[in-house]
A and B are shown apart, each in its own frame.
Chain A
Amino acid sequence: MTTTDIPRPADVGSKGSISKKRPRKVATGGLRQAVSATALLWFMAFLYGFPVLWFVLSSFKPASDLFSYPLTLVPHNPTLSGFKAAWDSANFSQYFINTALVCVITTILTVGVSCCTGYALAKYDNRWLKAFFICILATTMLPGEVMLAPEFLVVRNLGLYNSFAGIILPAVLTATGCFMFRQFFLTVPDELVEAARIDGAKELSIFLRIMVPLSRPIMLTLAILSFQWRWNDYIWPLLMLNDPNKFTVQIGIQSIVGAQNINWSVLLGASVISMIPLIAIFLVFQKYVMGADINAGLKD
């Protein structure tokens, strides 16, 4: 894995190899191939897209129509009542605000800490830095789920139980984030740092004034990823929080599923509302997500 694989959104897909944008003239006899490949592609896309479509369209049906046969794809009497019921029920709007708050703070901290660490790992050459790099590697071997119980005790001993800090702080440490920044800073020529040093710049101001602005695309990519991880997180907030006013969206949805009789109208509404922020972010910043070589660090 070479360092040139780092996300550079501007030239996504411009490797020139198998350009999908401008298909070359299909050779003779390739027509059958083109038809079958396109058909297979769209059959698969249908399989992947249809469940979401069905789910979202169902959420516009009034509760009375949800199970009325024959099932119809497009709601007869589209209504927002499911969304309204979800939003008003059981503090869901509060959950939504809590989740947004946790996600934004965690994301800012994650990007900041990962950027600093990644830069240090890429541009300084100390033995203890290499050791720390191996430590960071180790965290990928031990996923959080393995340490649920002891990590819970540690956070409780720190007095962070039932607080947002208890959700936010453990999540800031991410190997993927450090890797992404390390890989990026490896591609920045050392001469740039040397030149700044000769001009008399201090180490930290080189970092803050030259390197941080350079790494903006990586920051955005990691920010999107981090936001998604935290938005979708379930088990850790579930363990950490016991005050219903602090619950996150995922816990809220799961509590509707866990009820004796599932209120599907509310559940569909709540689920679809919870999807909106991520889908919106994704559609706006698509190129940063699609261009990201997410496992950049894990490959070498």
Chain B
Amino acid sequence: MTKRASVVSVSSPSPPRRRSKYTLAPLVLIAANVVLFSLFFVWPAVIGLLYSFTNYTGVGAFQWIGLDNYHNLFGDSTFYDALTRTLLYTVLFVPLNFVVSLLAANLVVSKHAKGGSVARVVFFIPWLLSPIVVGVLWRWMFGENFGLVNYVIEKFGGDAVPWQSNADLSLLVVVMAAAWAWTGFTMLLFIAAIKNVPVSYYEAASLDGAGPWRQFFSITLPSIAPTSFIVILLNTINAMKEYPVFVALNNGGPGTSNNLLVQYIYETGFKRGQIGYASAASFVLMLILMAVAIIQLIVNRRVENR
């Protein structure tokens, strides 16, 4: 083995450049992915952008109508409601999920808390459930006339809460359901990050008399900042494109008050056959997501270069 290693080092003083002579092998290896990428990413992205400037209905001829779709979108109160409702949902979901996941991760790895490995499995199981089942499960818990939650509330002398017929409460239930479902995944990211914080930091802090809260805010939180940014980014993107939980939990209700962007795209594109218009709505969603990603990347880089 040592002999081989020395031969290699003599014959290839600069391995990276030497490797670049291989063309066929890497090409074969990525061929399948290149085909998939072109068919199911580039092609849809290009025609999606083109169709967003047309009145295409999915069949037959279509006309180039320039920016009309985009112009109409912002005059369309249904779109506007869906957009603001999506933003509200994101603003509620992301911080809630962040806090509970971080708390769960800290408790699970804490040397003070007993039974962390069992609790970790409990936190994780909701993430395995499909968004549809999550919606069904929370509908079952939060049914207005039959749900367990209202039953308990009434048992303790309270009044039944209109979880389904009040639009804001109905959104809140979805926020809680989604945070509940996502905690397991986000927690895993946090656990990995927390475990990478050198234990000597905590030992030094303990010697200096720092309590657990102080240690958390002065050591843990700054040390896991890069992961926190990723978590916020991923959660924001996921929240912006949420749909199945809403469908199964209250179908965007009561009425249409909690219709979100993806639901709007689905309704206009596939129910009403306005592909061009739906494509324009998709690109607005895409621009928002890209803006979020770019802001996050910039902030992240700044934090890491500090």
Contacts and interface: CB of A to CB of B under 8 A. Distances in A.
- Please indicate whether A and B come from the same complex rather than being unrelated chains: yes
Interface of A: 1, 5, 13, 15-21, 23-24, 26-27, 30, 33-34, 37-38, 40-42, 44-45, 48-49, 51-52, 54-55, 58, 66-67, 69-71, 112-114, 116-117, 119-121, 123-126, 129, 132, 135-136, 138-139, 141-143, 145-155, 158, 169-170, 172-173, 178, 190-191, 194-195, 198, 203-204, 207, 228, 231-232, 234-235, 239, 250, 253-254, 257-258, 264, 267-268, 271, 274-275, 278-279, 282, 286, 289-290, 292-295, 298-299
A257 B136 contact: yes
Interface in B89-117: 100, 103-104, 107-117
Interface string B266-295: 100110000100110011011001100100
B34 A132 contact: yes
Interface in B219-240: 226-227, 230, 234, 237
A5 B40 contact: no
B30 A129 contact: yes
B248 interface: yes
B185 interface: yes
The secondary structure that dominates the A interface is helix
A141 B244 contact: no
Interface stretch (B14-22, B74-82, B163-171): B14-22
Contacts of A235: 243-244, 262, 266
Given A149-B279, A169-B40, A295-B230, A5 B28 contact: no
A290 B124 contact: yes
User: Which 6 residue pairs across A and B have the least CB separation, nearest first?
Assistant: A150-B48, A203-B25, A232-B130, A120-B29, A150-B44, A37-B112
Which of the listed residues B20, B22, B40, B43 has the most CB atoms from chain A within 10 Å of its own CB? B40
Q: Give the one of B23, B114, B133, B202 with max A CB within 10 A.
A: B133
A149 B185 CA distance: 29
B130 A250 contact: yes
Contact of A198 (B7, B25, B244): B7
Given A48-B183, A58-B140, A207 B29 contact: yes
B248 A257 contact: yes
Contact of B195 (A15, A151, A170, A231): A15
A15 B199 CA distance: 10
A146 B141 contact: no
A140 to B, nearest CB: 9
A28 to B, nearest CB: 12
A124 B22 CA distance: 7
Q: Which among A1, A17, A71 has the highest number of chain B CB atoms within 10 Å?
A: A17
Interface in B180-208: 180, 183, 185, 188-189, 192, 194-199, 202, 206
Contacts of A286: 121
Contact of A41 (B30, B119, B262): B119
A92 to B, nearest CB: 14
A150 B116 contact: no
A69 B145 CA distance: 11
